[in-house]
Amino acid sequence: MSAATPTRAPHSDLPTGHRPAESRVGAGLFDPGQLLRSLPDACRKLDPRVMVKSPVMFVVLVGSVLTTVFSFKDPGDWFGWTISAWLWLTVIFANLAEAVAEGRGKAQADTLRKAKTDTVARRLTGAGEERVAGTELRIGDRVVCEAGDIIPGDGDVVEGVASVDESAITGESAPVIRESGGDRSAVTGGTKVLSDRIVVKITTKPGETFIDRMISLVEGAARQKTPNEIALNILLASLTIVFLLAVATLPPLADYAGTHLTMVVLVALLVCLIPTTIGALLSAIGIAGMDRLVQRNVLAMSGRAVEAAGDVSTLLLDKTGTITLGNRQAAEFVPVAGTTEAEVADAAQLSSLADETPEGRSVVVLAKEKYGLRERHQGELAGAEWIAFTAQTRMSGVDVDGRRIRKGAAGSVVAWVVEQGGVVSGDAGALTDRISGAGGTPLLVAVEDADGARVLGVIHLKDVVKEGMRERFDELRRMGIRTVMITGDNPLTAKAIAEEAGVDDFLAEATPEDKMALIKREQAGGKLVAMTGDGTNDAPALAQADVGVAMNTGTSAAKEAGNMVDLDSDPTKLIEIVEIGKQLLITRGALTTFSIANDVAKYFAIIPALFAAVYPGLDRLNIMNLSSPDSAILSAVIFNALIIIALVPLALRGVRYRPMSADRMLRRNLGIYGIGGLIAPFIGIKIIDLLISLIPGIG
């Protein structure tokens, strides 16, 4: 974020949970109704051109076709037809997992489409205004928007200030302020102006607006496979080829042993041995990861960004509005020798009544809460002459009851006291230096009365660290993530805030070049870097970072540079994004572990059943004591299909992430999903075998 952080939008500090419930589309977890709604999409995905993108499931599709063909050759073979039916169900269940994940995104996209309206724009020309359709606007056009108008396209405010309703995009009912200049000038097409008048410079072509991109992304149409996902796909394809070659060697072996393996049996064996479980759920896991971000009102421009968030090792966080509340607050009144705290508090409160800055308001509140002074108002003091705070004088005050009271920056107040013929005591300078050295901001309070002009004391202003930030940074440290605070403050102030908040390091007096240099240094050491930003001067660093989260309240340049956009404009959400990224990686690893362990267990179901009659010694491996070879194969195929559906909720919800070391996480995965993957098939296949054995003519 920029060093001079702008005033936040009225709702920017609200937590995610404060958004209207109906706006959080897709927040509900998996339910059976979603299966039924997604079933048509799952069937449409049987197109080989779609299936070939998943090598494992493409092999299952080819196997389903082959078993169906061979079943037609022997219509009376119930075993062939049953195996074919369950293989088709396996493919459909795999597609269903992806369709359900995509369906959750489509619900969000439908909500966004409601924000797209055919608007009429008031385009400025040399002769005045002309009314044109919003679709006719081009980059560089300037349009006028007044209260009640729908903003016709994405752009930047170049003139005026207005209150804008962005609830169609963010789900937040509170309006936000958009104004020319600064870091809060970007507006989005489809949002509504509630008050005042602004001139907007269009920055995107029709059909390429922010909402259009959001719709495409949340529907999954623009989702690209991540490097980790591609690598896992290659591994799964390699395992599939290995098992394909292994199964191809079985017919000669069976013929030599005096038995015969049909094509239906060979296909069933291959499908049960290849990693179909993770192959079926892999795409759904990636889509669900992006969906979890959408639920938190974060738009990821690519799946790669979500995955990178899980591997982030350095986190750059802006101080103002992220680590601190955003405005300096009065913390204490420190009197000089010969003056009491009560005198300083009384004078500070009076001199701040005309100061409408957040700092001035905090002085009034502190005097009331800590010193019991009743909050006074300007109208109560008859004949008072109020001096408002200005950037030129850097002071505020009041002339009342024969007294002249001033409060402001140390240099300005000292100059005023000297100008009135007074003398500044030595301890005033010492107090000022002490507060500055502690990272605070000193304001002097002075008075001129019958005793002359003098300094009464010092107001200590300090940045207030948000509650719970130290605990969150401790949690990030347990994740192995290094936190760096970025601020435009001087090193002394930055050091004090960094120590209080508990960050690992800080960068003071940061310029855009400094941020870029820091990110490149971290990346040169093999680390992935995440940062937030909202200003045009943040754009280079956002583009350089592996995870760049732009605030929706920021400029168009920042949103274009980042690979994520936080629609709530809450900088602390970067911590949640990292957790979601780690959850995505952990979910993928856990289900891969389960799938491979699952396949190992199926060996004990199928191989002994196939060859026990020829090689009686193999019967010792038939530890499940399955009733017959046909029942063993059919039970394994049915279990293989049903386990996919059983794991869909976990793939969509994600495995819960807990901060822990990599070796401990590996042990946890092996203990839960590895052992679970071994045990589940034994139990499931045995239960299915018992049920099958009850069917006359089969068992």
Q: Does the annotation list 427 as a binding residue? A: no
For residue 197, give the H/E element and its range.
Answer: strand 192-202
Q: Tell me: is residue 378 an annotated ligand-binding position.
A: no
The reply to whether 449 sits in an annotated binding site is: no
* Alpha-carbon torsion angle 348, 351, 354, 356, nearest 10: -30
- Give residues with Cβ within 8 angstroms of 652, minimum separation 6: 29, 30, 100, 101, 104, 284, 288, 291
CA distance 350 to 344: 10
Give the Å distances, CA to CA, from 226 to 54, 215, 584: 14, 20, 11
3-class secondary-structure state, position 459: strand
- Exactly one of 318, 463, 489, 689 is catalytic; name it: 318
The tokens of 274 are what?
Answer: 């290849």
452-465 and 441-449 strand pairing = antiparallel
Q: Does the annotation list 389 as a binding residue?
A: yes
Radius of gyration of the chain (CA): 34
Sheet holding 395-400, edge to edge: 324-335, 452-465, 441-449, 403-409, 395-400, 385-387
Instruction: Consult the annotation and say whether 351 binds a ligand.
Output: no
CA dihedral 551, 555, 560, 562 (to 10 degrees): -30
| Mode of pairing for the β-strands spanning 547-551 and 529-533 | parallel
CB 560 within 8 A of CB 539: yes
The answer to whether the annotation marks 534 as part of a ligand binding site is yes
* HSE-up of residue 271 (Cα within 13 Å, Cβ side): 36
Instruction: Please state the φ and ψ torsions of residue 275, each to the nearest 5 degrees.
Output: -75, 70
User: What 3-state DSSP class applies to 131?
Assistant: strand
Identify whether the C-beta of residue 4 lies closer than 8 Å to the C-beta of residue 489. Answer: no
23 is in an annotated binding site: no
Tell me: is residue 370 an annotated ligand-binding position: no
Residue with tokens 């560089």: 140
Q: In what order do the strands lie in the sheet with 529-533?
A: 298-300, 564-566, 547-551, 529-533, 314-318, 482-486, 505-507
Q: Under a CB-based contact definition with an 8 Å cutoff, are residues 604 and 624 in contact?
A: yes
Spatial distance between the Cα atoms of 71 and 263, rounded to a whole number of angstroms: 10
- The reply, when asked if residue 588 is annotated as ligand binding, is no
Report d(CA 502, CA 258) in Å as an integer. Answer: 73
In 383-411, which positions are buried (b, 16+ CB within 10 angstroms) versus exposed (e)? Answer: eeebbebeeeeebbbbeeeeebbbbbebe
Tell me whether residue 372 is exposed, middle or buried, using C-beta atoms within 10 angstroms of its C-beta: 0 to 12, 13 to 18, 19 or more: exposed
Q: What is the distance between the alpha carbons of residues 290 and 287, in angstroms, rounded to a whole number?
A: 5
Q: Is 394 annotated as a binding residue?
A: yes
Is 546 annotated in some ligand binding site?
Answer: no
599 catalytically annotated: no
395 belongs to an annotated ligand binding site: yes
Check the annotation: does 191 bind a ligand.
Answer: no
Quick one: which of 10, 633, 690, 643 has its CA closest to 268? 633
Element (H, E) at 476: helix 469-478
Single out the residue of 462, 460, 451, 461 nearest to residue 339, CA to CA.
451
Tokens coding 692: 């099958």
Residue 263: CB atoms within 10 A of its CB come to 16
Query: Phi and psi (nearest 5°) for 191?
Result: -85, 165
- Residue numbers in the known binding site are 355, 359, 389-396, 407, 534, 538
- Residue numbers in the known binding site for Mg(2+) are 534, 538
- Residue numbers in the known binding site for ATP are 355, 359, 389-396, 407
Active-site annotation, residues: 318
